[in-house]
Chains A and B, each alone.
Chain A
């Protein structure tokens, strides 16, 4: 309202106040590598984890590639990242806890504030993993699923206990030299999830992992590998937050997923990093014959996000979906989208992207749709809609399409809309405040995504959007 117009300083304070997870714990890590990165630091991480020789070699090879690989010259400006001012490995506690109560007090409180133990207690989840800095500090999986052969471990335990499976898949879907940040993750990875779902097993409730950065100048490099065997199903959900610091932190994950014949995997992310985190993530899945892979990717936080979940439709009849939503507020650049490669006949895909820009934020849809020679009768639909809330904000669309086969059906639609004065007036004339009215238009805009989320995540996403909208209208 006109009489409560805020100065830019007050506005910034309001925005920070709206981020509820900006607090941090004062905990001394039990071990950490020195700031910066070289071969010794890579060796130290591997040695500390008692890894097999092949993994140490893989890390070193990756590190060497990281050093010589250039930063991407497209997307966001990453030249501001100071790789020497980051801690690459930070171990918060000596041992993974089997009970939340076994965690140090401050850390336990943090998880409570994030609501993770409560969600687990309410049995909304079949399994929970909680990563704090570089290590997964708590992990649990329902007994019944364990008995049916489902594996849900942190990646380090996965490597120790199931080296054969890990060695077979690790780095095969996203090779160490895929891009600079995949190389970095391959060199210094720690934590993340390892999941195996045996043939025919359907995991009804989601498995959830939560990633928390606590320390300043932290680099978090979790590594996730999910294998869904024939006709099996799993829904994996991840969330993440970090404290607000004046210096930058780096989050660079790699997620590889293999969905075998007839299997289905849904991977849902609600990314809500604080706005001093660079979020540069590589996610890719392979879908075999008649398999389905679905990425539901929500990006609300971070300073810069570059993330394009990908599906390689390798087997005939495979189906891939990317539902992407990005919210770019003050000082944020969300460069998000999806990549689909049709490699076999009769494969189908849908990419739906929704972005919202406000207060000078910038969102970009960047997508690749590729149809290989021989992938006949493939069908794909790409829809990207952008909503701009004010004149200072920006949105761009970069749809790359590469079709090498004629007998295909491809659709692409893009719209950009501004939040309409008429829509706001209409809702306000029914008694809604300006903030309520804007939040309602925005929540309607992202409804195609929220309706795909489990109820509690849909509620959370809408709540986050409402917080983002607070103080956003003058």
Chain B
């Protein structure tokens, strides 16, 4: 049984339908890649799965571990084990990384009845230190304001740090068009590879096959015009790198 089940998903933004009946299944322990040309709906899928309020789901269903994700707000999805690594994370001036992370960790530790169960300062520090060492993040980073003035690489590291602290069971990586910075790709790949386990499903959304050299996918899906048009093994990514999206009626390269 798959843990993530997307059935006939339709979604639109500002009245324009972007996802037009998307089906996908993913089990924990697996890494799936979704590749597609520009405008095919990759970023929309990432935002819809996380519950962005600007997107309207007009049909279909999304289940994760038996829960109906579409019924939940973004924060509830997060607490249900879903994580989205943003392509362009927002800056929150005046809020330190440490303060933010502690608040997020505590939000995840809250009971279903809303009862607080805050992490001890000591335990939090220990967890944070371990995660930062693994990601080669300098200690001084925790007292900076979240993503405020961060370089592209620092933002990626921060996303991976959050993922490490929140230990999701479904991680969605929105790398739709960040194919330009090889260091950023490496950071994301290292972060994901460190956390790969039987208890984590990963959905990598990308335009370029290059990221998949660093994160080896088990399954590759091709997304064109709001639907999955092909599903196969890692060889699909190689094919796209060689031939582009031409065979799907799109004149676009899948490589850099």
Contacts and interface: CB of A to CB of B under 8 A. Distances in A.
Interface stretch (A80-88, A91-99, A300-308, A427-435): A427-435
A1 B93 CA distance: 25
B103 A444 contact: no
A421 interface: yes
Interface in A437-460: 437, 440-441, 443-448
B90 A444 contact: no
Nearest to A427: B92
B245 to A, nearest CB: 29
A447 B53 CA distance: 28
Contact of A420 (B89, B90, B100): B90
Contact of B94 (A427, A429, A443): A443
A423 interface: yes
A444 B75 contact: no
A246 B230 CA distance: 68
Nearest to A445: B94
Interface residues of B, number: 28
A437 to B, nearest CB: 8
B75 A448 contact: no
A216 interface: no
Nearest to A1: B73
A400 to B, nearest CB: 28
B209 to A, nearest CB: 27
A426 B51 CA distance: 11
A15 interface: no
B75 A431 contact: yes
A398 interface: no
Contacts of B107: 430-433, 436
Contact of A425 (B52, B79, B95, B162): B52
A337 B141 CA distance: 34
B104 A428 contact: no
Contacts of A426: 86, 89-90, 92
A431 B104 contact: yes
B124 interface: no
Contacts of B78: 428-431
Contacts of B93: 444-445, 447
A433 B92 contact: no
Contact of B74 (A429, A447, A448): A429
Nearest to B105: A431
B95 A440 contact: yes
Contacts of A445: 93-94
A446 B162 CA distance: 24
B103 A425 contact: no
A430 to B, nearest CB: 4
Contacts of A441: 92, 95
A437 B77 CA distance: 15
B75, B78, B93, B108: which has the most chain A beta carbons within 10 Å?
B75
B121 to A, nearest CB: 16
A447 B52 contact: no
Nearest to A447: B94
A425 B108 CA distance: 16
Interface string B73-87: 111011100011010
15 contacts: A421-B53, A425-B50, A426-B92, A429-B50, A429-B78, A430-B104, A430-B107, A430-B166, A431-B75, A431-B104, A434-B73, A440-B103, A441-B95, A444-B95, A444-B145
Q: Which 8 A-B pairs have the closest CB atoms?
A: A444-B94, A447-B94, A431-B107, A444-B95, A431-B78, A428-B74, A426-B90, A430-B104
